[in-house]
Amino acid sequence: MDVSQYLEIFIDESAEHLQTLSDCIMSLEGEPDNKDTINEVFRAAHSLKGMAGTMGFKRMQHLTHDMENVFQEVRSDKIAVDSAMIDLLFKCLDALDEYLENVKASSDEGTEDNELIIKELNDFIAKANGEAPADAPTEAPDAKEASAEATAEEGGSEKKYLSIELDGAEKDAIEEAKKSGNKVYGLTVFIQPECLLKAARAFLVFRAVEEFGEIIVYRPSSQDIEDEKFELDFSFYISSSEDLDKIIEAAKGVSEIADVIGGEITEEQLAEKVEAPAAEAPVSAPAPASAPKETKPAPAAKKEEKKVPAKKDAKPVTNRTVRVDIEKLDALMNQVSELIIAKNSLVSISSQDSGTAGNQGFHEQIEYLERITTNLHESVMKVRMVPIESVVNKFPRMIRDLSRTLDKKMELTMTGEDTELDRTVVDQIGDPLQHLLRNSADHGLETAEVRKQRGKSETGHIFLNAYQEGNNVIIQVGDDGNGIDTEAVKAKAIERGIITEEQAESMTQKEIVNLLFMPSFSMAKKITDISGRGVGLDVVKSGIEALGGDVETRTKLGEGTTFTVRLPLTLAIIQALMVEIRDEKYAIALGSISNIENIPVTDIKYVQAQEVIHLRGSVIPLIRLDKVLDIEPKEDPENLTVVIVKRGDSQAGLVVDNLIGQQEIVIKSLGKYINGNKLISGATILGDGEIAMILDTNTLI
């Protein structure tokens, strides 16, 4: 069976099940007797096992099966949950994660059997039951047990294919098969009692054996099998030139199959079966109607593929979401972008029109088009928005592991996991946040002894808070640890020749802390797998700035440090203020603008040779964009148009020539055309077809 078409679904759903397992195991450590959590873990493991088996990933299936066995013992109150078990289960999750990564990379789970982990699982069960540990991992026991039960259940009568009564069409099909030189085998397949999708398993068996021949008889009928109108076994006849052992082995290779019994149908057995139809006519009357379907198993198989998910339709909640490839969303976004450009073009044309009463209808249609495109843009953006929960839900496990590795007591609290961001932003924010959390755990928090001496709780507190603020999402990561020793940072910077002693004396705390974000600047006293405050912070800054965001640091020695990450909601379409500098047009994101002022030239003051203005109690530095952009200067008018932009608590005033107005713009990447200029974050196409550059004001503040 070609299962490659289901690979993407398998990867997505497996990742969800693994995350569910991780979350539940984490909560189980705090509440070891919570039956609901135990049952949830068992269900997730069972689903993952079935999916892996269906896709043919035997190693993944085997490991998950043994995990399931451990939880079966926990459910039965034979094993108590403790830290040793939690550690072992997390080892299993790491191994399953590795299998899944291999599947993503090469559509194959790899060759690692994880025998040591499987042995540990089996030894854990054996120890709990007072048995001697096994010497080596064995095959999944459930299949053997079910097989033994199936065989013992009916003694010698398990060969149910021998009791099949044939109709005329089936007899003709068998005779034709024998005339062609093939053998006819009868097989009875037993399904494990706990199997949830019997029809799916039967379909997979049929697909497996059809590689060796043609199925010519089904009992029950193919339609009844498809509708799951059978118990835990079904039988069929197959015409084949291959050995029976190969066919049985292929059928047994399907997951959740307990046993397969088979044999060749002899002429004597066939003669006995054909004599009975007249007497059995009332019973077998419906058989001819299903016979045509039985000779063509492939269509039934296709129906089965649709049938399995159809069962979920009974639960309305499962129809609330649809999986959509991100490339399809990108294509939709590109179409919306083109529509907005076309709308801007029409608006530009209408503004050049005389605006007479005769054109009133035209202007009304332009306004209507503006409303439609704005609503369409908002709808598409909502589709692209996903909660950051998908990124942050792996952090509690990481902090637990760091707590044990570093031998520090610590806890993580998170709020705002349901805060939404554009999918492209969410996919890339995970690594920077992970760096910040690891630094808080390693170099931020003190040891339990030091914390006790300082009158703090022995358990360090790390937090991650997310919330929306205007057109931005704010994510705060911090701790109640030691804080950053700015004097030590200064000394390190002087030692490395980054700054001079004279420069160090005049630096503010904020400037000193910003040294930590320089490439390869580290305060770690020794190199470890986790390292210390500073390692990775340059990666954090570059990663966040690449997303159009920024990061700020607040710290107090002895009390802790908080990193504030500010990110735009989206990177595709934004509201912007269009400005003119000489004859060139530029766009400034509206979200970064605080206000616009008309400043007399006489109000400009100087602080350390820097132009500043005093505005409502704040001293704001002026930035002349013509100088920054290397545009030919001109004589100042009496009043300057100044756009006040902000980044966190910092502000700056951008001097521009003219204001064009607010406009919805589409951000187009410049790729490698302007690679070294961080001031330009992209470009947009205006309504008249002109290109305008988008200024990244974060680089100016």
442 secondary structure, DSSP code: I
β pairing state of 460-469 and 410-415: parallel
- Secondary structure, 3-state, 574-598: EEEEEEEECCEEEEEEHHHEEEEEE
Name the one residue in this structure whose structure tokens are 């129906």: 303
509 token code pair: 């705390």
- 46 as an active site residue: the answer is yes
Position 84, amino acid: A
Cα dihedral value 336, 340, 342, 347, nearest 10: 160
Q: Which of 89, 90, 112, 88 is nearest to 99 (CA)?
A: 112
Kindly give the residue spans of alpha helices, DSSP state H, lying in 154-286: 168-179, 198-209, 222-226, 244-252, 267-275, 281-284
- The values of phi and psi at residue 283, to 5°, are -75, -40
Name the one residue in this structure whose structure tokens are 């996991």: 417
DSSP states of 646-683 as a string?
EETTEEEEEEESEEEEEEEEE-B--TTTT-S-TTEEEE
Give the helix, strand, coil percentages of the chain, each rounded to 5.
Answer: 50, 20, 30
Candidates 17, 62, 68, 698; catalytic one: 68
- The values of phi and psi at residue 465, to 5°, are -120, 130
546 token code pair: 């690449």
Candidates 114, 182, 439, 482; catalytic one: 439
- 176 as an active site residue: the answer is no
Position 340, amino acid: I
Where is 188: in which H helix or E strand?
strand 183-191
DSSP states of 538-554 as a string?
HHHHHHHHHTT-EEEEE
DSSP states of 378-424 as a string?
HHHHHHHEEETHHHHTTHHHHHHHHHHHHT--EEEEEE-TT-EEEHH
DSSP states of 259-311 as a string?
EEEEEEPPHHHHHHHHHSTTTTHHHHTTHHHHHHHHT-HHHHHHHHHHHHHHG
Candidates 46, 62, 377, 435; catalytic one: 46
**How many whole angstroms separate alpha carbon 572 and alpha carbon 578?**
17
CB burial of residue 367 (10 Å; 0-12, 13-18, 19+): exposed
Q: Which long-range contacts (CB under 8 A, 24 or more apart) does 360-367 make?
A: none
- Of the CA atoms within 13 Å of residue 424, those in its CB half-sphere come to 15
- 145 as an active site residue: the answer is no
139 secondary structure, DSSP code: S
Q: Which of 156, 169, 258, 175 is nearest to 218 (CA)?
A: 169
Separation in Å, CA 86 to CA 49, 71, 91, 101: 19, 11, 9, 22
Q: Which of 381, 302, 401 is nearest to 91 (CA)?
A: 401
Q: Do residues 235 and 224 make contact, with C-beta atoms less than 8 angstroms apart?
A: no
Q: Which residues are catalytic?
A: 46, 68, 439
